[in-house]
C-alpha cells in the first residue's frame, strides 16, 4: 500500500513537498521555506543530524506524509527528536488530508501496516521525543506503537478566532475595558506625533525593524526568565533572512508601528492560509510605556490582517497574561515520548528526571 524510507537529506523546496504541504493541515512551522531554512541555516550548527521519514503510495510513488526528525547519540542512548531547533512552536507531521482521514477513521489493517513499517524504520533509535504538539494534533500517536505516551506541558498555546469584521470581533471577544483602553492608548500615542502602522516588504525597512526588535528585546529579557533567540546570531540571521526574502512574503509577515517615522513597536510572524501566528513582538516601553505601543501594535495588526482575509490570530505557546485580553482560547500542548528496549526505558526515565530537576531549580 505504501513505502517508508528514511534519508539524511531532503529538499523541502521540492515541488512534491510543496504540493504535500498544500494538501495538508500542517501549521506554518512546516511550511517548505521554514523547513528549508531550518535544515540549511540552522542545521549545520546544531549537535544533531537530520533524519527525514517519507511515506509514499506504493504504486504511484506519491509523497503522502513526511515526519522530520533529528538524530544524535548520547552514550548508550540513540535519541530521535522531532525537528525543532528551538524555532518550532507547533510540531506536527505533514500529511496528505486524504491519507490523514484514513488514519483518523482507524482502518485497522491500514494503520497496523503503517505502524509496523514505521516502527521498523525507526528501529535503530531507542528514545523518541516530540515536543510542542497541540491537542488537535495528538492523532499523530496513531502512527506509533501503543506504548508511546503524551504528557501535558505546563503551558498552553493561545489563539483567537477573528471572523470577518474587525468591529464585531472586538465587540464579541474583548471586554469593554480592553476596548476602551486600546482606543485611549491609540489616541495617547497619536497626540505625540504622526502615528502609522505598516506591513513591511522592503528589505531595508525589514532589516531596520529586526534591528529594533533585537535592541528592545535585549532590554526586556535582561531581567526576565527565558532566552531571546534574537540575541544569538544564527537565530537572528534565520528569522531576518526569511523576513527579508521577497519570495517568502506568503509566509513571513513583518510589521512596525512608527511615530513621526521612528519605530516604536515591531513584530514578526508567519502565515498559512487564513491563520497567522504571532512570534516576535517588541516595543519601546522605556520611552512610551504610557501608550502601550506593543498592545496598540497588536490591535492594528489584527485589523490589517483581517482586511487581508486572515481569520485566526495565534499568539502561539506561552501563558503571558496579555494574550487573554485579546479574546484568546487556550489549547493544551503535549510532549510525545516513546522508547524501545530496557536502554530506551532507562534513557527516557533519565530525561524526565533531568527536566523535572530543571523545573524545580527554576522555582
- Specify whether 147 is located in the same domain as 209: no
Q: Which three cell numbers stand for residue 213?
A: 526588535
**Predicted local confidence at residue 363, as pLDDT:** 29
| Residue at 324 is within a domain | no
Does any domain span residue 316?
no
pLDDT in tens, 329-345: 999 999 999 888 888 88
175 in the same domain as 40: no
Same domain, 115 and 210: no
Contact by Cβ (8 Å): 303, 164: no
Which domain covers residue 44, as residue numbers?
2-157+331-362
In this prediction, residue 80 has a pLDDT band, given cuts at 50, 70 and 90, of very high
> Does the residue 275 lie in any domain?
yes
pTM above 0.85, yes or no: yes
Q: Is residue 200 part of a domain?
A: yes
Are residues 296 and 351 both part of a single domain?
no
Please write the tens of the pLDDT for every residue from 240-286: 999 999 998 889 999 999 999 999 999 999 999 999 999 999 999 99
What is the number of alpha carbons within 13 Å of residue 346 lying toward its C-beta?
Answer: 8
Same domain, 47 and 167: no
**Would you say residue 14 lies in a domain?**
yes
Q: Say if 115 falls within a structural domain.
A: yes
| Cβ count within 10 A of residue 349 | 11
Q: Are residues 8 and 140 in the same domain?
A: yes
Shared-domain flag, residues 247 and 107: no
Question: Does 315 map to a domain?
Answer: no
User: Do 13 and 152 belong to one domain?
Assistant: yes
Local confidence band at 107 (pLDDT 50, 70, 90 cut-offs) = low
Same domain? 171 vs 31: no
The answer to the question of residue 186 being in a domain is yes
Helix, strand or coil for residue 20? helix
What cell numbers appear for 268 in the block? 514578526
Amino acid at each position: 500500500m505504501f513505502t517508508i524510507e528514511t534519508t539524511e537529506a531532503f529538499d523541502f523546496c521540492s515541488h512534491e513537498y510543496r504540493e504535500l504541504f498544500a494538501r495538508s493541515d500542517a501549521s506554518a512551522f512546516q511550511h517548505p521555506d521554514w523547513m528549508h531554512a531550518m535544515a540549511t541555516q540552522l542545521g549545520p550548527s546544531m549537535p544533531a543530524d537530520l533524519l527525514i521519514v517519507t511515506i509514499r503510495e506504493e504504486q504511484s510513488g506519491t509523497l503522502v506524509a513526511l515526519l522530520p526528525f533529528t538524530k544524535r547519540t548520547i552514550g548508550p542512548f540513540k535519541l530521535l527528536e522531532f525537528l525543532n531547533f528551538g524555532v518550532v512552536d507547533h510540531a506536527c507531521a505533514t500529511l496528505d488530508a486524504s491519507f490523514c482521514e484514513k488514519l483518523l477513521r482507524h482502518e485497522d489493517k491500514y494503520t497496523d501496516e503503517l505502524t509496523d513499517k514505521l516502527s521498523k524504520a525507526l528501529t535503530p533509535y531507542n528514545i523518541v521525543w516530540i515536543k510542542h504538539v497541540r491537542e488537535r494534533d495528538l492523532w499523530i500517536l496513531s502512527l506509533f506503537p501503543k506504548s508511546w505516551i503524551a504528557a501535558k506541558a505546563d503551558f498552553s498555546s493561545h489563539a483567537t478566532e477573528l471572523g470577518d469584521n474587525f468591529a464585531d470581533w472586538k465587540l464579541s471577544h474583548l471586554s469593554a475595558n480592553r476596548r476602551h483602553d486600546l482606543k485611549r492608548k491609540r489616541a495617547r500615542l497619536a497626540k505625540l506625533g504622526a502615528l502609522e502602522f505598516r506591513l513591511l516588504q522592503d528589505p531595508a525597512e525589514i532589516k531596520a525593524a529586526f534591528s529594533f526588535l533585537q535592541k528592545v528585546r535585549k532590554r526586556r529579557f535582561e531581567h526576565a526568565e527565558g532566552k531571546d533567540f534574537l540575541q544569538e546570531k544564527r537565530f537572528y540571521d534565520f528569522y531576518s533572512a526569511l523576513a527579508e526574502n521577497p519570495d517568502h512574503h506568503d509566509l513571513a509577515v513583518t510589521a512596525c508601528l512608527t511615530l513621526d517615522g521612528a519605530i516604536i513597536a515591531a513584530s514578526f510572524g508567519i502565515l498559512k492560509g487564513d491563520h497567522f501566528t504571532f512570534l516576535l513582538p517588541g516595543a519601546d516601553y522605556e520611552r512610551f510605556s504610557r501608550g502601550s505601543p506593543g498592545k496598540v501594535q497588536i490591535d492594528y495588526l489584527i485589523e490589517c490582517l483581517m482586511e487581508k482575509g486572515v481569520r485566526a490570530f495565534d499568539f502561539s505557546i506561552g501563558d503571558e497574561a496579555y494574550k487573554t485580553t485579546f479574546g484568546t482560547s487556550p489549547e493544551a500542548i503535549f510532549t510525545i515520548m516513546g522508547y524501545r528496549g530496557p536502554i530506551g526505558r532507562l534513557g527516557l526515565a533519565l530525561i524526565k528526571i533531568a527536566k523535572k530537576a530543571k523545573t524545580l531549580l527554576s522555582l
